[in-house]
Structure 1
Amino acid sequence: MVNKSFAKYRLLFSKLLLLSIIIVLLISENNNVDKNSTLHFALEFFGFAFLLSGVIGRIWSSLYIEGKKTNILVTDGIYSVCRNPLYFFSFILLIGFFLLIKSIIISVVSMILLLIIYPKTIKHEEDKLLKIHGQLYSDYILKTPKLIPNFLLFKRSSSNKLIKINIKKVENVLVESFGFILFFELIRLVDYFHEINILPTLFTIF
């Protein structure tokens, strides 16, 4: 069964990690990549592409699941290709974020911490769904990948199927997701402020 306090601390941990990254970026400078190089352009391009893909995927996944996250088993649409698309697209979004900040140290440390926390969260949530839905969820596990989508399995929803959603929760997902796109612009602004010495550079990160 999902432990609510665990989920609460998981969200708190994610927010603290993001806050820590912001603080580091405000007081440090990244000289890993020449801003006029092809590599810098490639990191910006692919970083934003991953970021945008993650945002769109999270919204797509949320529209299917909000309002019936545990009481109704969703197995069509994006949930027909993997069991945890929200987490998959969150990882895609984070990869884009790490490409954009261009720091090996921040990216590696953050990814290790997230890989420690999130698999446990996924297991807790799947254990709860297995307890609620029993054999139905067991069958779903057997034919659907846990995290990496297999789009050959894609099953469209019925054309006359209506989706009931919790608008407030979807709004939260939209704000959270597009906040990462805003953060992309803030990273560029912070870099510029370091260049013109508005922000202090206490150390260099790699």
Structure 2
Amino acid sequence: MTSASLNPAPKPFDQRKRMVVVRVAALMAVLLLLFAEPFLAEGSQAHELVEMFGLVLVLVCVGGRLWSTLYIGGRKNSELISMGPFSMTQNPLYFFSTLGALGIGLIYGSVLAALALGLASFIVFRVTAGKEAEFLSGKFGDAYEAYRRKTPRFWPNPLLFQDNAERQFSTHALKRTFYDGLFFLALFPAIETIEYLRMNGFLPKLFVLF
């Protein structure tokens, strides 16, 4: 029996599982927002400020995900990427997506919704990152272990930033990431529509969400 049969090549984590969980969580959040009134009165200055900060986080999310894709697009799981955003954190795409989830909650005007969405995203992405780390460790061995020891798994450390002069990226991967980012941006007008319907009495106010 050969060593290859004893130690089969590692397989990448099935990303479809993550997407199912994220989409189910997003659907539940939308259903909740349809019947909950934010603690900060819609149309008030405080609500508008929190909403604007949430929109900024969503824009950072979209921009950060596109930036990360410039480095890894088309090469994920085939090369060990450790430059650009990947020099500050092992999982910049997941970090920026978590910021987007926080931003969506703040756009709604609820700190509780922001924390719940952010925490749910963090848990899902952390589990996914752990599975991916097992694959990368098996594929790249000592090189990945050295990278993992010096680079935070999730929270970025800007002091570790490194870059090189040349980058290759996949236009297909960049386009896919852009379309994924549209999901975050599309929630802004969706939430605004919900607010309009509630303020004009078309939606019930069953409870207040702080």
Question: Normalized against structure 2, the TM-score is what?
Answer: 0.85
Map of 1:175 onto structure 2: 179
* SS of alignment partner, residue 90 of structure 2: coil
For the Cα contact (< 8 Å) 2:50–2:109, is it kept in 1?
Answer: yes
Listed as ranges, the gaps of 5+ residues in structure 2 are 1-9
Change (3 A) 1:59 1:191: same
For the Cα contact (< 8 Å) 1:103–1:205, is it kept in 2?
Answer: no
Residue 70 of structure 1 pairs with residue 74 of structure 2? no
Question: Of 164, 169, 182, which residue of structure 1 is paired with 2:169?
Answer: 164
Looking at structure 2, the residues matched to 62 and 84 of structure 1 have their Cα atoms a distance apart, in angstroms, of 11
Question: Of 193, 196, 199, which residue of structure 2 is paired with 1:195?
Answer: 199
Alignment of 1:27-106 (within 5 A): 28-106=35-113
Please tell me the root mean square deviation across aligned C-alpha atoms, in Å: 2.0
* SS of alignment partner, residue 30 of structure 1: strand
Q: Which amino acid aligns with 1:121?
A: T
For the Cα contact (< 8 Å) 2:87–2:160, is it kept in 1?
Answer: yes
Looking at structure 2, the residues matched to 115 and 95 of structure 1 have their Cα atoms a distance apart, in angstroms, of 10
Question: Of 108, 121, 132, which residue of structure 1 is paired with 2:128?
Answer: 121
Map of 2:153 onto structure 1: 146
Looking at structure 1, the residues matched to 104 and 32 of structure 2 have their Cα atoms a distance apart, in angstroms, of 15
Change (3 A) 1:31 1:76: closer
Question: Normalized against structure 1, the TM-score is what?
Answer: 0.87
How much does 1:63 deviate?
1.7
Q: Which amino acid aligns with 2:197?
A: F
Aligned pairs, number? 199
Change (3 A) 1:151 1:105: closer
Change (3 A) 1:169 1:162: closer
